[in-house]
Amino acid sequence: MDPMAAIRETFFQECEEQLAELEAGLILMESGAAEAETVNAVFRAVHSIKGGAGIFALDALVRFAHVFETALDQVRSGTLATGPGVMNLLLRAADVLADLVRAARDNGAVDETRTAALVVEFTQISNLGHEPPPPPKSQPAAAAPVPAWQISFTPTPPLYAKANETALLLRELRRLGPIEVTVDTTNLPELSEMDPEGAYLTWNITLEADCAEQAIRNVFEFVEDDCHLEITAATPAEPSLKPGDVITGDNGFSFEFFPPPVFDEEEPLAPPEPEHHEPPPAPVAKQSPVEVMAAKAESAAAVSATIRVDLDRVDRMIDLVGELVINEAMLSQRVLEAGIARASGVAMALEELEHLTREIQDSVMAIRAQPVRSVFQRMPRLVREVAAQTGKQARLVTEGEGTEVDKTVIERIADPLTHMIRNAIDHGLESPEKRLAAGKPAEGLVRLTALHRSGRIVLEVSDDGAGINRARVKEKAIENGLISPDAALTDDEIDNLIFLPGFSTASTVSDISGRGVGMDVVRQSVAALGGRISISSRPGHGSTFTLSLPLTLAVLDGMVISARGHTLIIPLGAIVETLKPKAADVFPLDGEINVIRLRGGYVPMVDVAASLGYSDEFVEPDQSVALLVEGEGGVRAVLLADAIHGQRQVVIKSLEANYRAVPGIAAATVMGDGRVALILDVDAVVKTTRSELSRPEPSVLEAH
């Protein structure tokens, strides 16, 4: 890639991080929990975006970031108070800044009136200018270049303290033209009185150059406050200096061009001139109270070093560790087969190896793990926007942002979470008037929580709204033919009807939740990740959506089964329960499909081996084990197999990499004996028997 394009890409990546930091910081400020460092971080975020945008000449972004930054600087210095109005403005500015960044990245357009309106608001609160300050006006150039200049240059001690060097300035001058230098040592004190870090010399330079005075001033740009400089037009002098020339002072001081500037060996030789003396700067610059606090906060903040690693490398390592686990298991099996005693040294060393291997596997998996923070940080804006669109007041509280989960999972939870939060505000929270009438604060609360529970990540979205209107949900489900009118459902079952395909409680499809996506789609996308979603609700008190997901998509918890001699893995997430079917509960529905009676309902049965084409014969149900599984959209079936061999975590291997997708098979894995086992695609297997039986389970059938 073109290096500039790569840097540009880095810049936009970094912008996303800065925007997330910005928003998180502003929210902390809004809640009043911000420390000085928070304000600094917020300022830095905008400042960095502006700096980077400057490199790429993203002018609209630079202009807006400048206005925003100036306001934040005033907040930082305490000259702008962060009342609710200002915080609201800052939050909206963060949103606009995000839009501008993305527009710049995608060469898209932004709503310029919105940007302009915000700039006006900023101006009103803080008397800001609309534009960044113009670049420094160069001082008016000297009327006409003269062929030669007389320069008198007297450094003061701070010049050296800042690591500037007379020699280098002279070298720089020489680039303009030949120079002749004499040193005035009149002010040189006695050695006993000399301050080793003082500056006592005046350099008189004749520069033979047809240049403007400004060109000379530019040479002294960095030191203009740390020296006395006089520049006058002069007649050219002879001779000029050549490289390597040695300048000799009146009292024998000599100075060669390009000496290494070693600070400690600087030999000042003249007494300070009182009228020229500048007080040296205080060793530590004065800090504002905010900065002092910031410094404390900074030193208190835990520092963790990070490195960036190509994802391919990590994945390669995960693959290899997966191999290590398999090899270790194979070795254990061989040792066992060889009849080596468990108490033997070999067996014990092997146990140690197994332990280590598991630990390496966990550590490697942890490399891909990332906190859910990046996703959580996108939600406050969503809450603000949805609240504004629905005329509701909502506040988002998040917990457990630091909870870690595999990167691939993180990437895929944003959509379901977005829908859940939209839904919580749009359908969960009442209007401010209704809330007040119900004795609740006008502002509704949406709580987003992440936590680890038994090897999975659990995400909860709860609201303090009205809860599910069960009468309405049931009515709607009957209307849509999802349940029969006389179905007897528990409260829980009614609540979970909202996940059925084709269900929507809103009488009018609103702009917010109704983007053609219902909770059924959310449920499906969650199921595709090996996750589950459920809802619990208390009328008048609100609802809680609970989403549970595996921590990684690279391994899977599975049930090992065998069907006609074939070993298969069924994802544990799909299994509701295991059964021992009785012949008396099995009924033929037609020539092909049997159903089993299960707690008053009937569920179709699938012979796993037959459905995969491994066998033409159907297993006798009472000779087999059965697993009640649930596929997409809550569709259930009972799978029949010969035996269950227990649970096992397996590393997922792609079949497509070297072959192609196989119907009914989701992926493959390698077992402890080194053989490949296939992972069943439960959805596909369930569907094959369900084309005519697409009604949900178990409610419909119970009502028959």
Give the 3-state secondary structure percentages of the chain, helix then strand then coil, rounded to 5: 45, 20, 35
Beta bridge partners of 228: 154
Give whichever of 169 and 547 is closer to another protein, judged by the CB atom. Answer: 169
> What are the C-alpha distances in Å from 695 to residues 442, 444, 628?
41, 36, 16
Other CB atoms within 10 A of residue 312 CB: 8
Give whichever of 449 and 689 is closer to another protein, judged by the CB atom. Answer: 689
Structure tokens at 497: 């009807």
Structure tokens at 253: 């001081």
For the CB of residue 294, give the shortest distance to another protein in the complex, in Å: 8
Beta bridge partners of 204: 152, 182
CB 68 within 8 A of CB 46: yes
For the CB of residue 37, give the shortest distance to another protein in the complex, in Å: 8
Structure tokens at 233: 């037009």
CB 633 within 8 A of CB 501: yes
Give whichever of 453 and 660 is closer to another protein, judged by the CB atom. Answer: 660
For the CB of residue 576, give the shortest distance to another protein in the complex, in Å: 24
Pairing relationship of beta strands 601-607 and 636-641 according to DSSP bridges = parallel
Give whichever of 387 and 568 is closer to another protein, judged by the CB atom. Answer: 568
Query: Measuring CA to CA, which residue among 480, 479, 473, 463 is closest to residue 494?
Result: 473
For the CB of residue 415, give the shortest distance to another protein in the complex, in Å: 26
Give whichever of 98 and 535 is closer to another protein, judged by the CB atom. Answer: 98
Instruction: Give residue for tokens 């080793």.
Output: 196
Pairing relationship of beta strands 676-680 and 566-571 according to DSSP bridges = parallel
Give whichever of 320 and 336 is closer to another protein, judged by the CB atom. Answer: 320
Give whichever of 306 and 507 is closer to another protein, judged by the CB atom. Answer: 306
For the CB of residue 703, give the shortest distance to another protein in the complex, in Å: 36
For the CB of residue 297, give the shortest distance to another protein in the complex, in Å: 10
For the CB of residue 385, give the shortest distance to another protein in the complex, in Å: 28
For the CB of residue 206, give the shortest distance to another protein in the complex, in Å: 21
DSSP E strands in 219-289: the ranges are: 227-233, 246-248, 254-256
Residue type, 68: F
For the CB of residue 371, give the shortest distance to another protein in the complex, in Å: 18
* CA R_g for the chain: 37
Instruction: Give residue for tokens 């997901």.
Output: 549
For the CB of residue 380, give the shortest distance to another protein in the complex, in Å: 22
Give whichever of 164 and 525 is closer to another protein, judged by the CB atom. Answer: 164
Give whichever of 70 and 699 is closer to another protein, judged by the CB atom. Answer: 70
* Phi/psi of residue 543, nearest 5 degrees: -130, 155
User: Whole-angstrom Cα distance, residue 502 to residue 545?
Assistant: 19
For the CB of residue 207, give the shortest distance to another protein in the complex, in Å: 16
Structure tokens at 261: 């500037």
Q: Within 13 Å of residue 214, how many CA atoms lie on the same side as its CB? A: 8
Give whichever of 273 and 319 is closer to another protein, judged by the CB atom. Answer: 319
Give whichever of 101 and 586 is closer to another protein, judged by the CB atom. Answer: 101
Give whichever of 436 and 661 is closer to another protein, judged by the CB atom. Answer: 661
Give whichever of 542 and 664 is closer to another protein, judged by the CB atom. Answer: 664
User: Whole-angstrom Cα distance, residue 231 to residue 153?
Assistant: 9
Q: Within 13 Å of residue 253, how many CA atoms lie on the same side as its CB? A: 19
CB 436 within 8 A of CB 444: no
DSSP E strands in 161-293: the ranges are: 179-184, 202-211, 227-233, 246-248, 254-256
Q: How would you list the strands of the sheet with 625-630, edge to edge?
A: 575-579, 625-630, 636-641, 601-607, 594-598, 586-588
For the CB of residue 563, give the shortest distance to another protein in the complex, in Å: 11
> What are the C-alpha distances in Å from 672 to residues 325, 429, 507, 554, 560?
8, 51, 54, 17, 12
Pairing relationship of beta strands 665-670 and 643-651 according to DSSP bridges = unpaired
For the CB of residue 585, give the shortest distance to another protein in the complex, in Å: 28
Dump the DSSP string for 623-640.
GSEEEEEE-GGG-EEEEE
For the CB of residue 464, give the shortest distance to another protein in the complex, in Å: 36
Give whichever of 326 and 575 is closer to another protein, judged by the CB atom. Answer: 326
